[in-house]
Chains A and B, each alone.
Chain A
Amino acid sequence: MGTVFSFDVRGGDFEHAVAEAVDWLHHVDETFSTYRPESVVSRLDRGELTLADCPPEVAEVLRLCDEVSRASHGYFTSHPDGRLDPSAVVKGWAIERASRILTRAGAVNHCVNGGGDVQLTGSAAPGSPWRVGIAHPLRPGELAAVVTGHDLAVATSGTAERGAHILDPHTHRPATALASITLVGKSLTLTDAYATAAFAMGHAARDWVGELEGFEAFAVTASGATWHTGDFPELAILAD
């Protein structure tokens, strides 16, 4: 499945840094894509490779999957259909790493958006925070909220864009309570993975995210109502 990534770098010309980040994303695709039969992860899943044969980032990603699975009481899983598929962790992790590549190269004010999951650093303009719109899942073209901040990660999980079902791993039935849920945190790796788990949890995500240190959530339910965790309004402008 194709994913569109965008890099918005402010305050200077950092073409070289972006090129390096792009190379990184190509490497991630070759290693982790479950759509490529010859990718490292596909071969690992078929037993053609052991974990020790794989690049170290594979073990790192699988450890992250385990960590997120435990933290989410199994609502996140790296084997959603029985096959190894760490994609939900890989995307946020890859984007966050791409962001670090940019920062190390001196591009300290940037926004990296991969398929709607975003890692932001620094400022959009001198003294101005970034402004991240949250697409309304039920009303095309509208925003449900705008999140603002300097160094933050925003990840939205839902069915709006693909129509595909995210399954509740406990019931194996589609998670239907929410149209979308957006998590805001510092690091996209966990923010993205937690957003996926939160969507599968439905309304229970409100308490779950409420307990998590460093994350806030905003959800649009299947009927179009919204809820959010306690400190979310401090980060955001909400529609009335």
Chain B
Amino acid sequence: MRRAIFAVVVTAVGLVLLLSFKPHDLAVAEPPSANAGPWTGDGASLGDDTGTVVDGDVTDTRWGPVQVRIVLSAGKLTGVQVLQAPAGTSMDVAINDRALPILDREALTAQSARIDTVSGATYTSDGYVRSLQSALDRAGL
């Protein structure tokens, strides 16, 4: 029976995602390049799909199937995308939006509202976590 889930991965923008089922070693990605400046206030962006992708299992939930994909660069995790999400749930957004699921760059006003994090619906459903875990396992992370 899957229990509370923790593992640690570091995305390309210095954000550490803590997610695990079995204890994972810290998987540290390359920090942002020096050109980004000492502080990276830009929020997550997976605009460039460089590197390899590994798809997680399609996980069934009571609302429908969920599947995530992880993006790897030089063997380190650099991002997560949602491939399938039940219609009408808040995970839908990530299918067309390649931002890391916990950050949402949707504009709030006419100017784009750059935000650092999101409170509220954040894909913590069991289905998302299980699919993500399977992708991490498949990638050997």
Q: Which of A7, A19, A146 contacts B15 (CB 8 A)?
A: A7
Say yes or no: B92 contacts A141, CB within 8 Å: yes
Q: Which of A9, A36, A109, A180 contacts B120 (CB 8 A)?
A: A180
Interface residues on A, range: 35 or more
> B38: CB under 8 A from chain A?
yes
Say yes or no: B120 contacts A160, CB within 8 Å: yes
Interface residues on B, range: 35 or more
Say yes or no: A1 contacts B4, CB within 8 Å: yes
Say yes or no: A4 contacts B41, CB within 8 Å: no
Interface residues of A (CB under 8 A from B): 1-13, 15, 18-19, 22, 25-26, 29, 33, 35-36, 109, 111, 113-118, 120, 124-126, 128, 130-137, 140-147, 154-156, 158, 160-163, 180, 182, 237, 239
Interface residues of B (CB under 8 A from A): 1-6, 8, 14-19, 21, 23, 26, 28, 31, 38-41, 62-63, 88-93, 97, 102-104, 106, 108-109, 113-126, 128-130, 132-133
Counting residue pairs across A and B whose Cβ atoms lie within 8 Å, the total is: 200
Once A8-B14, A22-B8, A163-B62 are accepted as A-B contacts, the answer to whether A115 and B122 lie under 8 Å apart by CB is: yes
Say yes or no: A29 contacts B116, CB within 8 Å: no
B-side interface mostly:
loop
Once A8-B116, A135-B118 are accepted as A-B contacts, the answer to whether A161 and B124 lie under 8 Å apart by CB is: yes
Say yes or no: A10 contacts B118, CB within 8 Å: no
The smallest beta-carbon distance between A182 and chain B, in angstroms, is: 6
Contacts of B15 in A (CB 8 A): 6-8
The smallest beta-carbon distance between A196 and chain B, in angstroms, is: 13
